[in-house]
Amino acid sequence: MPDAVYLDHNATTPVKPAVAAAMTRLLAETGNPSSPHRFGRAARRIVETARAQIAALAGAGPDGVIFTASGSEANNLALRGFPGRRLLVSAIEHDSVLRAASDAAILPVTEAGLVDLAAAEALLAADPRPALLSVMLANNETGAIQPIAALAALAHRHGALLHSDAVQAPGRIAIDMRALGIDLLTLSAHKMGGAAGAACLVLAQGLDIAPLIRGGGQERGRRAGTENMPAIGGFGLAAELAAEDLASADRLAALRDQLETELGRRQPALRIFAAGAPRLPNTSCFGLPGLKAETQLMALDLQRIAVSAGSACSSGKAKPSHVLAAMGAGPELAATAIRVSLGRGNGPGDIERLVTAWSDLAQRSRLGVAA
């Protein structure tokens, strides 16, 4: 879209040109990966190559990669794949975790947006039954990076498993399941330059899981349904390319810091959420008392600048953020929060354009002038 500024990469990333080209080629291929003939075997090789590429990104073995249609499906598989285990999830998880684990105990977070380790320890110790703990690697709204290694150590000390929704991490921070102690990891192609329709749950070595979708024997019997070979092939390439994106992390962090400094200089009442926590280099979540998120979204959209309010997975509707509420933000302040998430195509000019448009809006709001 000419002259538009896209600052919503946590919702979905643009498909990388190399990935789009690879998927175009794969769409011309014919063959079911489960078929024994040469067409099927060729399709199977594409799927297995992608499995290895994604395993390398995650720091896991390829046998542990289970392809799904979305990150939400992978989260549901993780949370419902261990019948008999009690569930503990953080208060700031994506809705696909919270709704799949409606019977779970909720782990509180600090004002900085980090899981309270002492509370996690107490909840794990309170019940001797085996547990499954689910805490995202980095929050999709605030960018706060969670103390996953410490949580994994706590979980394992109490005989629990740790699942982490890591869809926001690839290309922004390094991932290593073995080093972090993660037992189950969720990834999604469209968050890292692939296409929507391909995601996965990655299991640690030696771990097995009950299927959520039953039917054929695909994915070693752990997820029925014909694999989306073109999207999976693109997913694998996107995972391989994500390692290259890590080199841009410092550049994105500098742009984010420039944004927050300039906005704060113009509006000292600006509140930056999770500013006291380690954050993804590309993510800023902020609010200004009295300036509703919906107003900001509409005004910026008219200026051809795309940002979001909280998660983008709520049918396009801005609603009060459960993440900010869990961090102790009152409803009036939380209702002003918007999220800016940068990507590889953004540069200083995009920041300058957002700062100008947002500051003009904030000034008009302060003066009581209609946006």
One pLDDT digit (tens) per residue for the chain, 371 residues: 568 999 999 999 999 999 999 999 999 999 999 999 999 999 999 999 999 999 999 999 999 999 999 999 999 999 999 999 999 999 999 999 999 998 999 999 999 999 999 999 999 999 999 999 999 999 999 999 999 999 999 999 999 999 999 999 999 999 999 999 999 999 999 999 999 999 999 999 999 999 999 998 899 999 999 999 999 999 999 999 998 999 999 999 999 999 999 999 999 999 999 999 999 999 999 999 999 999 999 999 999 999 999 654 544 555 779 999 999 999 999 999 999 999 999 999 999 999 999 999 999 887 654 44
User: What does 228-241 look like in DSSP terms, one character per residue?
Assistant: -HHHHHHHHHHHHH
Q: Specify whether the CB–CB gap between 99 and 230 falls below 8 A.
A: no
Domain that holds residue 263: 5-13+248-366
Residue 371 lies in a domain: no
The domain spanning residue 71 has which CATH number?
Answer: 3.40.640.10
Amino acid at the residue 41 = R
Same domain, 318 and 230: no
| 205: exposed, middle or buried (Cβ count in 10 Å: 0-12, 13-18, 19+) | exposed
Query: Does 313 qualify as catalytic in the annotation?
Result: yes
Same domain, 9 and 27: no
Same domain, 141 and 261: no
Same domain, 222 and 268: no
Which of 217, 245, 273 delimits the end of a domain?
245
Residue 361 lies in a domain: yes
Nearest to 44 by CA among 71, 26, 17: 26
Same domain, 253 and 273: yes
Residue 147 lies in a domain: yes
**Three-class SS state of 328:** coil
Same domain, 209 and 307: no
Number of domains in the chain: 2
Residues in the chain: 371
The domain spanning residue 359 has which CATH number?
Answer: 3.90.1150.10
Same domain, 226 and 254: no
Same domain, 26 and 175: yes
**pLDDT of res. 366:** 72
Same domain, 187 and 323: no
**pLDDT of res. 320:** 78
**pLDDT of res. 315:** 43
Which of 245, 276, 304 delimits the end of a domain?
245
pLDDT digits 0-9 by tens, 176-225: 999 999 999 999 999 999 999 999 999 999 999 999 999 988 999 999 99
pTM for this prediction: 0.94
Same domain, 198 and 290: no
Nearest to 123 by CA among 113, 134, 111, 139: 134
Same domain, 75 and 224: yes
**pLDDT of res. 367:** 63
**pLDDT of res. 266:** 96
- CB-based contacts of 341: which residues, under 8 Å, 6+ apart? 7, 8, 9, 10, 11, 143, 282, 283, 284, 308
Which of 245, 274, 295 delimits the end of a domain?
245
Among 312, 313, 325, 355, the active-site one is: 313
